[in-house]
Chain A
Amino acid sequence: MAALDETQLREGVDRETVETVQSMAGTYKHGWETEIEMEFAPKGLNEDIVRLISEKNNEPEWLLEWRLAAYRRWLTMESPDWAMLDIPMIDYQEQYYYAKPKSMVEKPKSLDEVDPKLLETYAKLGIPLKEQAILAGVEGAGEERKVAVDAVFDSVSVGTTFKKELAAAGVIFCSISEAVQDHPELVKKYLGTVVPQNDNYFAALNSAVFSDGSFVYIPKGVRCPMELSTYFRINAENTGQFERTLIVAEKGSYVSYLEGCTAPKRDENQLHAAVVEIVVLEDAEVKYSTVQNWFPGDENGKGGIYNFVTKRADCREDRAKCMWTQVETGSAITWKYPSCILRGDDSQGEFYSIAIANNWQQADTGTKMVHLGRNTRSRIVSKGISAGHAQNTYRGLVSMHPKAKDSRNYTQCDSLLIGDQCGAHTVPYIEVRNASSRVEHEATTSKVDDDQLFYCRQRGMDEEEAVALVVNGFCKEVLQELPMEFAMEAQALVAISLEGSVG
């Protein structure tokens, strides 16, 4: 609260609002470390480490070569600096590129064999690993909804549920390392076809050293019988996280995939560079929802996760559809642009985003909608909330290629400011190279209004509740796109990230 004395209160800004925002820090509820013995590869990155990772995963020769090619390419690349981010120098030789809980070296046969501490960790986070827990408390239309969880603890998948039911539908949902063993032809066919190894600096790094992640294959005409869910969690000190996710939706199939994560509190900055590739074929539809709550650093900007993610969907054939929904509340630095390549005619891409940045968090996030096919459609709804000293940037590309005749885009970017020390920025890139396409862009910037807060408080809500209510209202259009169980979680998360002792 000491910082308050130095804070210049601008006219019209409620002092208590500023105090609330300033006291948001230190409320990260998931900040503890589980003591589990780790087996590390040595620190640093070189070809031997790449080989070691490949060997530990018992990978075929082609994949090792693929990794090495990515590594060699990475060496020639430079960290991107075009984002509105102040990224400290990262010493890539000071990171671990492979770590897994020691108790997992022998893979457990069932959840009963899973280290109880691990399950405890998930329980603390409220992550429902066990099936009964997954189903508990879910409000549905009479019938309980099923969510399969492929939980990733650091680098190794520890539990996969509902495998049988998925198998009956022909759906493959497993860790990517398992997929490499069991379905090498599928992995080989699609890996790197959406995000090439040399796509960008962080994607190249991921391609070289990815340790695990998820693999999803939905066969032709199959509607996946449940929501697929993965929880990521970073838990080992200085362990880089390099998840690789590959989702393939065959013709006429449908899947909804949920990704959520929290991380324990620590001082060392942690690097995360994930890649998600989605291949959507004719008439198929993929929904990918993320709720991200990694440690954002403390109120002085110390610590926190660096999140450099490449997520892209290729709507490869006609009438393919992909929808990204993200709720980003964590990470010290976020560099993330889930994108859609609208290659097939009549294909559709959607992007719904809530990005909350407070204290010293920096977020540069948005999407790319690349219209290649005729009559393609895209829709972008971005809600950015800035508080404390945070900087929040929406950066988005809408590109209409010459052949993308009669295509449409609608973009709406709304920014909400809390306090007077934060910033919101909107950077739209629009390229239209044919005459029949239409691009619309709307942007607004507003502040949490003192009148709204007073109105809520006169009705009995305390300031935290009032801020959470107003902000949740601001985010409504995005929250309603999330699957039900995720929406509740996301709403709670918005409230948690705006919590603080008032006064």
Chain B
Amino acid sequence: MLEINNLHCELEDDTEVKILKGLSLTVKPGEVHAIMGPNGSGKSTLSYVLSGRDGYEVTEGSATLEGEDLLDMEPEERAAAGLFLAFQYPVEIPGVGNMTFLRTAVNAQRKARGEEELSAGEFLKIIRAKAKELQIEPEMLKRPVNVGFSGGEKKRNEILQMAMLEPKMCILDETDSGLDVDAMKLVSDGVNALRASDRAFLVITHYQRLLNHIKPDVVHIMSEGRIIKSGGPELALEVEENGYGDLLAEANA
């Protein structure tokens, strides 16, 4: 599904700042991978570079989605190819109804893939059903995108978008940040419902607790722009117990 090989990147505005320093990662269809790591290790940058946000310059390495070169595509082309990023800080768009936004997005992707656009009626039917599963009130669908949403509402809205867009590769960037226990359960249930043999997840998180709800197949520890250790779910528990200190020391030894 997702193949990242020896990826290096730096800030466009300050080429002295190297963020990713030879990151490699392979995620197979149906798998859930978690990336953990201390602040500043480059976790969020990885999600931005993969999704094509401006401001980063890839200097070396490659990233492909189902064999297609991601780094060569515009952000919207990556989206249409099946890449989805659940934002750590979902962006507010005043005046644009949540439903309008999603319908525009869904149809833009369908158009890009040469599929027929959804009619207003079809779209409405689907979104109502999916919103219900995520306990999103119909009223929230009418409100402007993320404006005045609580932290939990914003994150649930991200998962709703993910459910509507049905991507192949989902990246969750600290989706658990700012969530209380109940909201985390809702969001996790939403993600788990989307798990499928032809879909993969990359879950970026600080804390192990999210991984109690979304069970990963592989856990990676990231530090200073590289994966320093990979393992099973037990690796996350180890971090929970001992912190990153030992792992970092081990890596530097």
Contacts and interface: CB of A to CB of B under 8 A. Distances in A.
Given A460-B112, A465-B108, A472 B95 contact: yes
Nearest to A11: B13
Contacts of A459: 79, 101-102, 105, 108-109, 161, 165
A452 B91 contact: yes
Nearest to A477: B95
Given A457-B75, A460-B80, A460-B105, A473 B95 contact: yes
B128 to A, nearest CB: 19
Contacts of A16: 54
Q: Do most interface residues of chain A lie in helix, strand or loop, or is the interface mixed? A: helix
Contacts of B138: none
Chain A residues touching B, range? 20 to 34
Contacts of B87: 455, 458
B90 interface: yes
Contacts of B85: 458
Contacts of B90: 455
A29 interface: no
Nearest to B86: A458
B96 A472 contact: yes
Given A459-B79, A462-B76, A14 B54 contact: yes
Contacts of B76: 457-458, 460-463
Interface in A64-83: none
Contact of A465 (B94, B104, B161, B165): B104
Chain B residues touching A, range? 20 to 34
B96 A469 contact: yes
A233 to B, nearest CB: 31
B93 A462 contact: no
Interface string A444-467: 000001111011111111110100
B144 A456 contact: no
B79 A460 contact: yes
A122 interface: no
Contact of A460 (B94, B108, B144): B108
Contact of A462 (B106, B108, B144): B108
Contacts of B60: none
B142 interface: no
B54 A450 contact: yes
B51 interface: yes
A475 interface: yes
A17 to B, nearest CB: 9
Interface in B45-98: 51-54, 74-76, 78-80, 84-85, 87, 90-96
A474 B90 CA distance: 18
A124 interface: no
Interface in A445-503: 449-452, 454-463, 465, 469-470, 472-477
A458 B75 contact: yes
B12 to A, nearest CB: 10
A54 to B, nearest CB: 49
Nearest to A466: B76
Contacts of B96: 469-470, 472-473, 476
Given A454-B54, A459-B165, A470 B93 contact: yes
A475 B94 CA distance: 10
A460 B109 contact: yes
Interface in B108-143: 108-109, 112
B74 A457 contact: yes
A451 B91 contact: yes
Contact of A455 (B52, B91, B144): B91
B94 A456 contact: no
Interface in A1-56: 11, 14-16
Given A457-B74, A461-B76, A474 B108 contact: no
Given A460-B76, A460-B80, A455 B93 contact: yes
A218 B74 CA distance: 55
B34 to A, nearest CB: 21
Contacts of B106: 460
Interface centre among B52, B75, B91, B106 (most CB of A within 10 A): B75
B201 to A, nearest CB: 16
A475 B79 contact: no
Interface string A214-242: 00000000000000000000000000000
Contacts of A455: 87, 90-91, 93
Nearest to B112: A460
Contacts of B105: 456, 459-461
A462 B54 contact: no
Interface of A: 11, 14-16, 449-452, 454-463, 465, 469-470, 472-477
Given A458-B84, A460-B106, 20 more contacts: A11-B13, A450-B54, A452-B92, A454-B54, A455-B87, A458-B53, A459-B79, A459-B102, A459-B105, A459-B108, A460-B76, A460-B108, A470-B96, A472-B95, A472-B96, A473-B93, A473-B95, A476-B94, A476-B95, A476-B96
